[in-house]
């Protein structure tokens, strides 16, 4: 990855689609999805296709706006994530995954992060009865399995992309768990690097890049503060204000790949957390009716497919990791 990152998508879609880099990227992405599907299916996961519209969706995005549509006179949303339907899916199966599109009107400031698309996909996993640790292990396995498959099978594509397979030497050599640091450790580390980070908020883009650049394998940040996430990340009962959640950060400056957590599943807790996060519980009628009837405790996570593709393919910007890029504020195909 270069320091000087390209942030604008190519002028025309045909030029992007004819670019050998795009073709190599698509093959890498296909291999990533196939590796994840095969791995999860072998572990007993069932793949579902979640809806793309509904009366409510994940409110958890960092400052992004939802897109409304007119559903026969009712205001519906395009899905910003599959979280509500992932919890619902556990009524049918204990271990589920999906690969689904999400749409978020990201703030214009994110147009230059090289990490934000308006339309992207998540490879989403949810596991009934699982701890955060169980979910982190599954997340690590998917990233390692996908990188190994690309390195083993797509030497020519990596050459077209200029991606040195040695970039994954540390990831593929050690069988050890990825390093873990708490959000509080990350804040302290950033302060030592001269980067002031608000201890009550998400790690900012610049801070995340500083930590990411220093790593040679992906690593986890755990225990984010309550104000930084949606109502569904479970609050640690022994440490009020701290969430039992995690992000997986890619090395080399590529930044966040995954967010996940243990989930709130108790009706009263969910309603309380909705109120605390400024959500109106009345809007979540179908979801809260379901929760009142009982949903399993669970843990899960979402992998940004284009973010993972960007890291594995070694691309400068995330718009290069999709055949049909839509970046914040840019009117395009």
Q: Please identify, among the stretches 97-105, 109-117, 251-259, 314-322, the one whose residues bind Mg ion according to the rule CB under 5 A.
A: 251-259
The CB-of-124 to ligand AMP minimum distance in angstroms stands at 8
Candidates 89, 259, 298, 320; binder of Mg ion (CB under 5 A) is: 259
The CB-of-204 to ligand AMP minimum distance in angstroms stands at 14
Binding site for ligand AMP (CB under 6 A): 60-61, 81, 104, 106, 116-117, 120, 122, 256-259, 302, 304, 306-307, 318
- Phi–psi pair at 85, nearest 5 degrees: -80, -25
The CB-of-105 to ligand AMP minimum distance in angstroms stands at 9
Nearest to 264, CA basis, from 275, 256, 254, 273: 273
Nearer to Mg ion (CB atom), residue 122 or residue 259: 259
Q: Pick one of ligand AMP, Mg ion, none as the site partner of residue 257 (Cβ within 5 to 8 A by kind).
A: ligand AMP
Nearer to ligand AMP (CB atom), residue 73 or residue 278: 278
Which DSSP category does 203 fall into?
A: P
Q: Is 261 in the site for Mg ion (CB under 5 A)?
A: no
- 153 alpha-carbon distance from chain centroid: 25
The CB-of-266 to Mg ion minimum distance in angstroms stands at 23
Q: Pick one of ligand AMP, Mg ion, none as the site partner of residue 113 (Cβ within 5 to 8 A by kind).
A: none
Handedness of CA 265, 299, 97, 46 (dihedral sign): negative
Nearer to ligand AMP (CB atom), residue 81 or residue 320: 81
Nearest to 110, CA basis, from 208, 2, 210: 208
Q: In this structure, are residues 224 and 232 in contact, taking their beta carbons and an 8 Å threshold?
A: no
Nearer to ligand AMP (CB atom), residue 57 or residue 197: 57
Which DSSP category does 281 fall into?
A: G
User: Can you say whether residue 223 is alpha, beta or left, with left for phi > 0 and alpha for psi between -120 and 50 degrees?
Assistant: left
Token pair 């409510």 is at which residue?
56
The CB-of-73 to ligand AMP minimum distance in angstroms stands at 30
Q: Pick one of Mg ion, ligand AMP, none as the site partner of residue 279 (Cβ within 5 to 8 A by kind).
A: none
Determine the Cα–Cα distance for residues 24 and 45; give it in Å rounded to an integer.
29
On the 0-12 / 13-18 / 19+ scale of CB atoms within 10 A, 65 is: exposed
Nearest residue to the partner Mg ion, using Cβ: 259
The tokens describing 227, both together, are 């104000």
Nearest residue to the partner ligand AMP, using Cβ: 304
The CB-of-125 to ligand AMP minimum distance in angstroms stands at 11
The CB-of-254 to ligand AMP minimum distance in angstroms stands at 10
The tokens describing 152, both together, are 């083993």
Nearest to 332, CA basis, from 61, 115, 119, 121: 119
Q: In this structure, are residues 45 and 96 in contact, taking their beta carbons and an 8 Å threshold?
A: yes
Distances (CA, A) of 213 to 234, 281, 282, 331: 29, 40, 43, 32
Nearer to ligand AMP (CB atom), residue 244 or residue 259: 259
Q: Is 102 in the site for Mg ion (CB under 5 A)?
A: no
Q: Is 29 in the site for Mg ion (CB under 5 A)?
A: no
Strand 74-78 versus strand 255-262 pairing type: unpaired
Residue 127, classed as helix, strand or coil, is strand
The CB-of-179 to ligand AMP minimum distance in angstroms stands at 18
Q: Is 80 in the site for Mg ion (CB under 5 A)?
A: no
Q: Pick one of Mg ion, ligand AMP, none as the site partner of residue 87 (Cβ within 5 to 8 A by kind).
A: none
Footprint on this chain of Mg ion (rule: CB under 5 A) = 259
């Amino acid at each position: 990855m270069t320091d000087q990152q390209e942030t604008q998508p190519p002028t025309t879609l045909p030029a992007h689609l004819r670019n050998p880099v795009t073709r190599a990227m698509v093959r890498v992405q296909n291999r990533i999805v196939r590796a994840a599907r095969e791995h999860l299916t072998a572990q007993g996961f069932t793949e579902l296709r979640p809806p793309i519209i509904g009366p409510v969706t994940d409110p958890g995005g960092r400052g992004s706006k939802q897109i409304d549509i007119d559903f026969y006179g009712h205001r519906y949303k395009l899905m910003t994530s599959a979280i509500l339907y992932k919890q619902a899916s556990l009524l049918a199966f204990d271990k589920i995954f999906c690969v689904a599109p999400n749409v978020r009107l990201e703030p214009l400031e994110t147009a230059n992060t090289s990490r934000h698309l308006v339309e992207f996909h998540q490879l989403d996993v949810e596991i009934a009865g699982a701890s955060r640790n169980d979910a982190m292990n599954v997340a690590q396995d998917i990233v390692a399995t996908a990188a190994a498959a690309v390195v083993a099978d797509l030497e020519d594509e990596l050459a077209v992309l200029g991606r040195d397979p040695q970039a994954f030497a540390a990831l593929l050599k050690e069988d050890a768990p990825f390093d873990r640091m708490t959000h509080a450790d990350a804040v302290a580390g950033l302060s030592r690097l001269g980067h002031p980070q608000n201890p009550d908020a998400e790690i900012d883009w610049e801070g995340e890049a500083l930590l990411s650049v220093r790593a040679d394998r992906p690593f986890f940040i755990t225990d984010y503060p309550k104000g930084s996430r949606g109502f569904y990340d479970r609050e640690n009962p022994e440490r009020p204000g701290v969430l039992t959640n995690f992000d997986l950060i890619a090395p080399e400056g590529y930044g966040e790949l995954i967010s996940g957590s243990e989930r709130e599943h108790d009706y009263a807790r969910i309603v309380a957390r909705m109120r605390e996060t400024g959500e109106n519980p009345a809007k979540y009628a179908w979801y809260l009716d379901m929760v009142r009837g009982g949903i399993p405790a669970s843990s899960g996570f979402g992998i940004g497919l284009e973010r993972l593709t960007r890291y594995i393919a070694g691309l400068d910007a995330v718009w290069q990791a999709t055949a049909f890029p839509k970046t914040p504020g840019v009117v395009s195909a």
